[in-house]
Amino acid sequence: MDSPKLPVVDLSAEDLRPGTEIWISTSKQVCHALEEYGCFLIKSNQVSLDLHNAIYTAALQDLFNLPKEIKQLIKSSSEQPYRDVFSSSPNHEGLAMGDIVSTSEAIHQFCNLAWPGGNNHFCKNVNEISKIMMNLDQTVLRMVFQNYGVDKYYDSQIRSTDYVTGSSKYKESEKNENYVGLVIHTDKTFSTIIHQNDVNGLEIQTKDGQWILYEPSSHSSFLYLASDAFKAWSNGRIHPCCHRVTMSVNKTRISLGLFTFLNGVTHVPDELIDEEHPLRYKPFSHREYYRLIKEHGKKKIQYSIEALCGV
């Protein structure tokens, strides 16, 4: 059997504008990939090699090198619901900065908290790549909404979205022994976009249980992942992507992600309910889902979107 490959979607064409033929055919590819794999590799040309290097050799190094007390301050700063510092295993560290991209003050507010003495290059570079990821996320969302015939809800969905920038760091594997950096999971977000340094490790599970390693085709590639809230919103059409991180090389892996969360109450659009697709999810609060996931996680109990709002 041929080994499966991740779908690839090219979002780099300059003439990729709503209404054009290329837009319509790309929208179909996006929906097909999300229904069958829950993910796809985004080909883009927006990240220069300089930006890539500034992010992974300086900005995110500074972030993970922050003193413990500052990390504690970030964790406990309450004005951002999705700001956190956490560890999923002894070899992993995660840091979620909250929504630093939707408003221009937010990145400065985060930087002032993390570096009272200032850190301009962090601010500039992390803001730049977060914006690229936010724009890509909005393009993909617009394509899905148009392809499903529900574009009239697009603007209100964008208005209710929090775009959380976060990063993960995984220690190098010693003596070439594989280790699990993140156990298999689906994200609790609506969607996630991942960018990474030159160390692979993120693996995607196909519907029939095979694993595919995410291998970016350039320093400007991203991986788009659909998550639990997207599945519920789409009345089960979109497949939430199961993934994990396996570390196998003697180098540190750093990834940067954009994680989207919805505010308010999320409904399945009426247009996505019919005889073939009877309603599977009641209206739900994404924020409440996230809260319950964390609460159950502390007790090591699994919780699912179906438990929250499945019909």
Ligand X SMILES: O=C(O)CCC(=O)C(=O)O
Q: 253 and 197 in contact (C-beta within 8 Å)?
A: yes
146 is a contact residue toward ligand X (CB under 6 A): no
187 is a contact residue toward Fe ion (CB under 5 A): yes
Contact residue for ligand X among 141, 144, 194, 226 (CB under 6 A): 194
Q: Which does 137 bind (CB under 5 to 8 A by kind): Fe ion, ligand X, none?
A: none
202 is a contact residue toward ligand X (CB under 6 A): yes
Residue 169 CA to residue 284 CA, distance in Å, equals 32
Query: Which residue in the shown chain puts its C-beta closest to ligand X?
Result: 255
Rounded to whole angstroms, what are the CA distances from 286 to 250, 281, 297?
38, 12, 16
193 is a contact residue toward ligand X (CB under 6 A): no
Piece of the chain touching Fe ion by CB under 5 A; list 58-66, 173-181, 184-192, 247-255: 184-192
Can you state the percent helix, strand and coil of the chain, rounding each to 5?
A: 40, 25, 40
User: Whose CA is closest to 59, among 114, 104, 125?
Assistant: 125
Q: Which does 309 bind (CB under 5 to 8 A by kind): ligand X, Fe ion, none?
A: none
Contact residue for ligand X among 257, 260, 281, 284 (CB under 6 A): 257
Alpha helical stretches, state H, the chain: 21-36, 49-54, 60-64, 68-76, 104-114, 120-147, 154-159, 228-233, 286-298, 305-309
245 is a contact residue toward ligand X (CB under 6 A): yes
CB of 259 to Fe ion, least distance (A): 9
Q: Which does 168 bind (CB under 5 to 8 A by kind): Fe ion, ligand X, none?
A: ligand X
Name the 3-class secondary structure at 199.
coil
Structure tokens at 245: 């991180």
Structure tokens at 47: 């990240």
Name the 3-class secondary structure at 291.
helix
Task: Tell me the DSSP string of 184-195.
Answer: EE--SSSEEEEE
228 is a contact residue toward Fe ion (CB under 5 A): no
* Cβ distance to Fe ion smaller for residue 236 or 257: 257
Piece of the chain touching ligand X by CB under 6 A; list 9-17, 19-27, 54-62, 194-202: 194-202
Residues near ligand X (CB under 6 A) are 168, 182, 187, 194, 196, 202, 243, 245, 255, 257
Residues near Fe ion (CB under 5 A) are 187
